[in-house]
Amino acid sequence: MMLSKKTKYVLLAALVLGLAVIYVPLLVVLLNSVNSDTTFGWPPSGFTLEWWGRAAQNEGVLRALWTSLQAGLAATAIALVLGMMAAFALQRYRFFGKDTVSLLIILPIALPGIVTGIALNNAFRTILGVDLGLFTAIVAHATFCIVVVFNNVVARLRRMGGNLEEASMDLGADGITTFRLVTFPMLRSALLAGGLLAFALSFDEIIVTTFTLGAGLQTLPIWILDNLFRPNQAPVVNVVAAVLIVVSTVPVYLAQRLSGDTASGGRL
C-alpha cells in the first residue's frame, strides 16, 4: 500500500481505540462480579468472591441455567438436522425457487427479533391454541438457529467439492457408505462448529425467548432482565452476567478454531 506513514498510524490508533471500547464494557462486568462494593462505583473498592458463592447457591439462577441448557441443547439438535439437510439441498442441487429457500433460512434472523417473537407468540397462542412452555421456546430457538448450522455446512461443502465422494462411489461404495465413511467425517468439524454457535445463540437470546417461553420459566438472560432493577440482587446479577460472557464466548472461539471457513458464524 502506498498510503502515507501518518495515515497508517492514525488508522492503527483507531483500531486499537475501537478494540479497547469493544472490550472495556465486558471487563467492567467481569470486574464488578468480584467487586466487594455493592453499588459499583468506579474505581472498585475491594475484591471478593462472595457473590460467586451466593450465585452458585441461588435457586432462581440454577433453575434458569437448567432451562437455558435444555432449550439450547434441544434447539441445537433440531437445528443440526434441519440445517444440514437444507445445506445439502441448496449446495448440491439446482432447483426452482432455490433463492426463495435460502432467503427463508435467513429470514428468522434478518427480521427484527421482536417480529419473530410476536409472530410465533401469536401463532402458538391465538392460531394453534398451544400454551407457552419450554417446548414453544425450543421451537422458536431452533427456527433462528438453523441458519447458523446451515452457513457452516454450506461453507464446508463448497470447499470440499464432490471429487472424493465420486471416487468413493467409483470404488463401489453405495450412497450410505459414502456418506458414513467419506462425507460425514469431512463435515464433522463444521457440524460441531455450527452446533456450538447455535447453542451460544440460543443461550444468549432474549427477545424471542421473552415471547415464547411459558410464564414461570426463566432462561439465564430472562432471569437477569427480571432482576436487573432490584438493587439487592445486583451482585448476583453481576456474577450471572460474567458467567454469560464467558459461557457464550468460549464456544465461539472454539468454533473459530474448528472451522477455518466460518467467516462469522451465521449472523452475517
Partner 1 sequence: MSIAASVSGFLYRKPRLRLGMLLSAPLLWLGLAYLGALAALFVTAFWHTDTFTGQVVTEWSLDNFATLFTDEVYRTITFRTLGIAVAVTVIDAVIAFPMAFYMAKFASPRAQRILVIAVMTPLWASYLVKAYSWRVMLSGNGLVGWLFGATPGYGLTATILTLSYLWLPYMILPIYAGLDRLPNSLVEASSDLGGRSWRTFRSVVLPLTFPAIVAGSIFTFSLTLGDYITVKIVGGAGQMLGNVVYDNIGAANNLPFAATVATVPVVIMLVYLAAVRRTGALDNL
3-state secondary structure of 240: helix
Burial class (CB in 10 A: 0-12, 13-18, 19+), 133: middle
Stretch of 52-60, 105-113, 153-161, 187-195 lying at the interface with partner 1 (CB under 8 A): 105-113
Q: What's the angle, vertex CA 189, arms to CA 77 and CA 159, rounded to 5?
A: 115
Task: Answer whether 181's CB lies under 8 Å from 145's CB.
Answer: no
Instruction: Count residues binding partner 1 (CB under 8 A).
Output: 94
Using the rule CB under 8 A, which residue among 64, 80, 146, 182 binds partner 1?
146
Cβ at position 147, least distance to partner 1 in Å = 10
Residue 13 grid coordinates: 490508533
Task: Answer whether 236's CB lies under 8 Å from 51's CB.
Answer: yes
Q: What's the angle, vertex CA 136, arms to CA 61 and CA 105, rounded to 5?
A: 110
Neighbours of 71 (CB within 10 A): 26
Using the rule CB under 8 A, which residue among 21, 46, 129, 216 binds partner 1?
21
Using the rule CB under 8 A, which residue among 28, 73, 160, 186 binds partner 1?
28
Determine if 256 is a binding residue for partner 1 (CB under 8 A). Answer: yes
Using the rule CB under 8 A, which residue among 125, 189, 192, 217 binds partner 1?
125
Nearer to partner 1, 107 or 186 (CB): 107
Using the rule CB under 8 A, which residue among 69, 77, 115, 217 binds partner 1?
115
Stretch of 48-56, 59-67, 84-92, 155-163 lying at the interface with partner 1 (CB under 8 A): 84-92
Cβ at position 78, least distance to partner 1 in Å = 8
Residues 149-208 that bind partner 1 (CB under 8 A): 169, 174-177, 197, 200-201, 204, 206-207
Stretch of 15-23, 51-59, 160-168, 186-194 lying at the interface with partner 1 (CB under 8 A): 15-23
Using the rule CB under 8 A, which residue among 47, 57, 126, 171 binds partner 1?
126
Residues 48-77 that bind partner 1 (CB under 8 A): none
Residue 76 grid coordinates: 441445537
Residue 181 carries which DSSP code?
I
Nearer to partner 1, 14 or 56 (CB): 14
Helices 59-92, 184-204: crossing angle, 10 deg rounding: 140
Determine if 215 is a binding residue for partner 1 (CB under 8 A). Answer: no
| Ramachandran angles phi, psi of 47, nearest 5° | -115, 135
Determine if 12 is a binding residue for partner 1 (CB under 8 A). Answer: yes
Residue 29 grid coordinates: 462486568
| List of residues 6+ apart from 70 with CB closer than 8 A | 134, 138
Which H helix or E strand runs over 59? Answer: helix 59-92
